[in-house]
Amino acid sequence: MSRDALERHQVWIYLAAILCGLAAGALWPALAPGFEALLWPTLAVLLYATFVQVPLLQVGAAFRDRRFTVAVLLGNFVLIPLLVWLCLPLLSDDPALRLGVLLVLLVPCTDWFISFCQLGRGHTAKAIAITPLNLLAQLLLLPVYLWLMLPANALDTTAIMARLLPAALGLIVLPLVLAGVTERWIDAARPRAVWRARLAWWPVPLLAVVVLMIAGAQVNTVLSAGPALLAVLPVFVAFLLVTSLLARLVARVMRLPLEEGRTLAFTMGTRNSFVVLPLALALPAGWETAAVVIVFQSLIELFGMLLFLWWIPQVLFRNKAA
């Protein structure tokens, strides 16, 4: 199987992994501690392999097309946070569920967004160029968004931050730094580029292992969260629809070419679920629903991207001259 085929079928791979994890957790509960112990190092390797694919040392490339950059920043970090804030009254009062929704919807994707952009006839080069800027901006702005959108009495802020900061440093910042060092090492000699290509195979199978272990370790939480997940399903579906329409509006106002408009739609529609997943998993006992919500959203998004591959190039950003 080629890597392109692997990425095209990733939604079914993740779905199968979740079902296998649920079955394993239900049949052999004693596996749960092992899943939890292996989950953290697997997540760290997953994030490292993914960050290596992001041109971290080429952040300046995003600013070469200022109009496109402004459109992406406006869409991802102004309009979408406003949209998410407007969605909050539609959610239940469960703070874990709300936190999970906020974590996953507020951060734009930095991995499969590029693959779907390429398949959806977007501007792949500009998608790659804008990715490190998206990543750095979300790491800086996510704490601000959470502080603004979560009511002060919804959670013990001190206890939550005491859990989130070590997770962010150990499972996001450290892999990010190592990926930057690796990128510099690879760029120093042309033959070393093969290592980036090899690491590009890792994210899909590693993410499948991660969701399998989460499902196996949290099988009771997943089953008990069923009604809550069904309640949040319309929000995630509506998010995909509304973000695509917002992308069309922003592209028209900014007068973006079709390929750049499609790229904008894919970056606004895809979210960085696996980057915020470690943060949700680091929360205290009783907050497991947040991680389940994040995994659930990623599945809804992947199915939504299958529709986007038709909806974006054939309807919203159709080439009328073709």
Query: What phi and psi values does residue 23 have, to the nearest 5 degrees?
Result: -65, -45
Q: How confident is the model at residue 101 (pLDDT cuts 50, 70, 90)?
A: very high
Query: Hey, which residues does 271 pair with through a beta bridge?
Result: 108
- The reported pLDDT for the residue numbered 47 is 84
- The reported pLDDT for the residue numbered 200 is 86
User: May I ask the CATH architecture of the domain 3-316?
Assistant: Up-down Bundle (1.20)
Nearest to 301 by CA among 230, 239, 250: 239
- The reported pLDDT for the residue numbered 195 is 87
The mean pLDDT of 168-179, rounded to a whole number, is 79
| Whole-number Å distance between alpha carbons of 157 and 131 | 30
The mean pLDDT of 62-81, rounded to a whole number, is 91
- The reported pLDDT for the residue numbered 58 is 65
Long-range pairs of 282-285 with CB within 8 A, sequence gap ≥ 24: 282/163, 282/164, 282/166, 282/167, 282/171, 283/96, 283/99, 283/160, 283/163, 283/164, 284/159, 284/160, 284/163
Please tell me the pTM assigned to this model: 0.85
**Maximal C-alpha separation, the chain:** 61
Domain positions in the chain are: 3-316
| Whole-number Å distance between alpha carbons of 43 and 254 | 38
- The reported pLDDT for the residue numbered 57 is 65
Q: Which residue has the higher pLDDT, 263 or 215?
A: 263
Res 312 pLDDT > 90? yes
Tokens 């190039």 found at: 313
Residue-wise pLDDT for 147-160, tens only, equals 888 876 555 555 56
Three-state secondary-structure class, residue 271: strand
- The reported pLDDT for the residue numbered 102 is 94
Residue-wise pLDDT for 229-247, tens only, equals 888 999 999 999 999 999 9
